[in-house]
Structure 1
Amino acid sequence: MTIAAVDGSIGGVLVFGDRGTGKSTVVRALAGLLPTIRAVADCQYHCDPDKEDTLCDSCRDKTAAGKSLKVRRIDVPVVDLPLGVTEDRVVGALDLERALSSGEKAFEPGLLARANRGFLYIDEVNLLEDHIVDLLLDVAASGENVVEREGLSVRHPAKFVLIGSGNPEEGELRPQLLDRFGLSVEVSTPEDLHTRMQVVRRRDEYEADPHAFVEKWKRKDGQVRRNIERARDQLPEVEVSDKILEHTSRLCIALGTDGLRGELTLIRAARAAAALELADKVEPKHLRQVAPVALRHRLRRNPLDESGSTTRVQRAIEEHLPE
């Protein structure tokens, strides 16, 4: 999750695992760990004032007219997309209240507008309805949400990191959506006695006094936030050599991943991992660190190999990546 926070272009995180292992809790706690961002103060899409090419039409019109954009710092949006949500709620629709009261056609932004420059979280993502999946695929590919309905024609930025969680026993994810997740994390119920006791104790402490619990871990949270900020600053300075690219391609060829998205994701994730260490270049150890989470959900099923995807990736790492 931290790697995805350092570089949003990695493509999001899929968290699959047993029920009751804290998947949703971790994702929803992410907002408190992220550094604040600069945003246009009165913009409903919280545009980035430092990137003119990503401004919405309203902000672009203001700058074209010579008006200065008011700027404030906001928390990174972390928006829940619930199951059963309507298409209008996701993409936005006509503001009926304004239409009825004043006869004015105005756009009421949806969840995609709220999630711009942040994270869009879908719990039980494998149960999401197909038409909403298709919609998300279109927007994720373009980075824009286009609404053409009820006499409205609206186009606004919608760049977000997609976070999904679910239990694989309840159904598989559509391949098209699965491919859109940059990283895949498998969560299992801990078998270690000490770990289980710690998790239960901390959960109990939080429920007894949430404020005291937050204060207790405030310094730790601040350290994580500072690490992410430093890594973001370091990211442009991290070099990727031709040798690292060769290792990456050899690994993906050996695993038979389709397309080149696996290589791109692996390189970006390795670069983010190096940035978190404040390193100036990607090394094989960074590839070894992120390869399982970047590649295991991209493997084709092999009926002749009963090994799990994680085992297959680890085996390829040992064969094709140097220590």
Structure 2
Amino acid sequence: MSQNSMRILVCSAGRRVGLIQCFRSAAERLNIDLKVYASDLVPDEAAACAIADVALKMPRSDAPEYAAAVLQAVKENAIDLVVPTIDPDLKPLALAHEEFARAGARLHVSPAHVLDIVRDKRLTAEVLAAAGVPVPSTLSLDELRATPDRLNWPVFAKPSGGSASRGLQVFDRIEDVPTEFPEPMIFQNLVRGPEFTVNIFVDADGVLRTVIPHLRKSIRAGEVEKGVTRRRQDLRDIAEGIVSALPDLRGVACFQTLEDDIHGPCVIEINARFGGGYPLADHAGATFAQWLLEETMGRPCTAHDNWREGVRMMRYDSAVYVD
């Protein structure tokens, strides 16, 4: 990596066109010659791979050879920064962080022990509750069956390791709950109220530099479709509690809250990566992509919390064409 050039690899790029555009805009502001590599299982069918400078084919994130394949791509292409974008990417790469460091690449992934917590929603609830961070009452299937009155019915069920709104269910009575599920589930009180995503940036020294919430006004396929940035001191307080509970969390992360009139906002999940709604935060002035490039290049990090409130995002369908 020279003083004015950088190569980044966006893993499992899929539809993350907006994220790549944020990195390119950041590079222009920093006067960096940025070359973007994007990888996917089928790069010819991934829009983000089509707009990248170089597209790479990778095995599935859950394949045993995944981390080795990404590491090989890093070595062959002199990659400076690796940016995973989906949860299954995180743990395999984190376990190989020393190999990436020896190859000269920064891996934008928190340590494996942090991922073990945030990728398990049951464990997330336990760790945050112990730190005084508000979370919904959470039970396993066995606990629910043994003590169904511990929750208020109807109850909300979701996979403990799920993402992208996969496997969400609502049950009105204990009699409606199946005796078995295809994967471990958690059960919580059903909360009907405003939902926020809170994007945060934790610098290389572990200091929380930015907290930018947005109201999720409309959701499609698990990602915000319409949103608006809002300053909320209570959500900032929650962010500070999360960073205190997870002191080794680094870089970009986001968490989601649901709230009602009685309990206020409760954390329902944490993602230790760029969230799908990050471009809204970037447009509002919380330019995480730029700050990550600065840290990777050894420049002073210009992270701040002076973003604009009331910025709205309304997503629409577009297309990438390849002849």
Q: Could you tell me the TM-score, scaled by structure 1's length?
A: 0.30
Higher relative contact order (CA 8 A, sep 6+): 1
